[in-house]
Amino acid sequence: MQPIRLIKGFLTVGVWTLASRILGFARDMMIASYLGAGPVAEAFLVAFSLPNMFRRFFAEGAFNMAFVPMFSKKLEGGEDATGFARDAMSALASVLIVLTLVALAAMPWLVLAMASGFAGDERFALATSYGRIAFPYILFISLAALLSGVLNAAGRFAAAAAAPVMLNIVFVCAMLVASRVGWPIGDALAWSVPVAGVAQLALVWIAARRAGFHIHPHWPRLTPEMKRLARIAAPAMLAGGVVQVNLLVGRQVASHFEGAIAWLNYADRLYQLPLGVVGIAIGVVLLPDLSRKLRAGDTDGSRHSLSRAGEFALALTVPSAIALAVIALPISSVLYERGRFTSADTLATAWAVAIYGLGLPAFVLQKVLQPLFFARENTRSPFYYALAAMVVNAVIAVGLAPVLGYLSAAVATTLAGWVMVFQLWRGSRAMGEAAQFDSRFLSRLPRIVAAALFMGVCLWGAAWLMDGALNARGLRYLALAGLIGLGIVAYFAFGGLIGAFRLAEFKSALKRAPKA
């Protein structure tokens, strides 16, 4: 994949992910307005997190990290890639059907495992009911993730990247209809989850058929390739489980502070915007690209792809991290403070946004470095690294809770993210030149940081001067847009001046992006 084509792939995925995140903001703004940080909001957020937790564990994390490199190599080598995908889909569907039936029966215990602070109050019964409605989503979204992996390996990124948009469209429509006809908003949200899963699966299944991949499940078979896939996926599943334990610890801590699960969720949405646009785009495009180049023995190409991915990631996420830390309060206020979401909720959310923002470059660098291991079918090392990060997360989240309260969960997530990056970087050094950043990346990195710090100073001063407009009901959206626009101009102008990047590179990629 040539440099422009690689960045074009990043941008294709990034643009669709941006659309999904913007609709996600609309969704969360509506939830905040209708439900605030109250018991119904917290119950739904915990219920929705259950299928998402297992989805990341089975599909997007472990299974796809093992499946995509194997599928890519078969596709590159002219082997029966479609038959392999059919077998993989059948095996995955079988496991997920059993998991869903067990989870529906054990839902009260799953809710307590996620949020023991719910025991004895109305949130527990609500979360159990919502969880049983929402959990079948895991079957549909996991099969959609496998089909997305097929499309991504074939270099067709648009449909897979567009699928998450369906989820937020269904959510927004459900809330609008429920508010109009008088249905409980919490019930409408819960039923929207499986409906959205079906819509996402249908979209990528149709796209796969149009791309020539006729993939459908059949009675599962334990072929030698499926055994090999399971052996590779098992350590990645354990690593995915470790990541979910980190999230579980954070939610457990937050569940003992009223409103904290909602505050952390709304903060999470804000830092997930740049993480999703950049990090997910890089992870989706880079893994099949590295897999193909390793099969072809292209060491220089692998190093170049890695370096450009890292450069692209940091050029966009370092300034985002600075911005989230500097203007967390006005962002949280303008986007969320309305209806049942109070100024106290805004302040609590803003603190979490700032802390999460400091970990944003680490979360994106993980997406850059992990494909180095997965492309070599090495899933054991990331598991051991994730295990160490889990210990750091648990010790900080639980240990600092008496001092920092719910914010200990955010601090733990950020520090554990940096620990994970350090381990991935250190482990990749044994892979040779193909896994090392080149001189251009190393020369541009300090300039990117300098440009981001300059932008941060500009944002801080502008936010102080625009305080009145940012709090004026008729001007706040325009003022926030102006503040963000000022930050973008300051960063790219100063960054271009000191050689942090070349604006022509972004322009060239943008011109070619629609062809991806």
Structural domains in the chain (count): 1
**pLDDT recorded at residue 506:** 56
Amino acid present at 432: G
Amino acid present at 196: A
Instruction: Quote the CA–CA distance of 407 and 400 in Å, as a whole number.
Output: 9
Instruction: Quote the CA–CA distance of 416 and 394 in Å, as a whole number.
Output: 9
Handedness of CA 146, 147, 152, 157 (dihedral sign): negative
**Residue 141 DSSP SS3:** helix
Whole-Å CA distances, 489 to 19, 72, 368, 446, 450: 22, 40, 26, 19, 15
Helix axes 380-399, 224-254, angle to 10 degrees: 10
Secondary-structure percent of the chain, ordered helix, strand, coil, rounded to 5: 85, 0, 15
**pLDDT recorded at residue 230:** 76
User: CA geometry: angle at 136 spanning 134 and 138, to 5°?
Assistant: 100
Find where tokens 């009145």 sit: 468
Q: Count CB-CB contacts under 10 A for residue 352.
A: 27
Q: What is the pLDDT along the chain (516 residues), one digit of tens a residue?
A: 445 455 555 565 666 667 777 787 788 888 888 888 788 988 998 899 888 877 766 655 556 667 777 777 777 776 778 888 888 888 888 988 999 999 999 999 999 988 888 887 888 999 999 999 999 999 998 888 888 878 877 777 667 777 888 888 999 999 999 999 989 999 999 999 999 999 999 988 998 888 888 888 888 887 887 888 777 777 666 665 566 677 778 878 888 888 888 888 888 878 777 766 665 556 555 656 666 666 666 777 778 777 877 888 888 889 999 999 999 999 999 888 887 888 899 999 999 999 999 998 998 888 888 878 877 777 788 888 888 998 999 999 999 999 999 999 999 999 999 999 999 999 988 887 767 888 888 899 999 999 999 999 999 999 999 988 888 877 888 999 999 999 999 999 999 899 888 766 655 544 444 443
**pLDDT recorded at residue 429:** 83
Q: Classify each residue of 421-444 as buried b or exposed e, where b means 16 or more C-beta atoms within 10 Å of its C-beta.
A: bebbbebbeeeeebbbbbeebeeb
Burial of 216 (0-12, 13-18, 19+ CB in 10 A): exposed
121 with 39: CB under 8 angstroms? Answer: yes
Q: What is the pTM (predicted TM-score) of this model?
A: 0.69
Whole-Å CA distances, 497 to 17, 440, 446, 491, 509: 29, 16, 14, 10, 20
**What is the domain extent for residue 78?**
3-515
Give the chain's count of helices (H) and strands (E).
23, 0
**pLDDT recorded at residue 513:** 41
**pLDDT recorded at residue 253:** 87
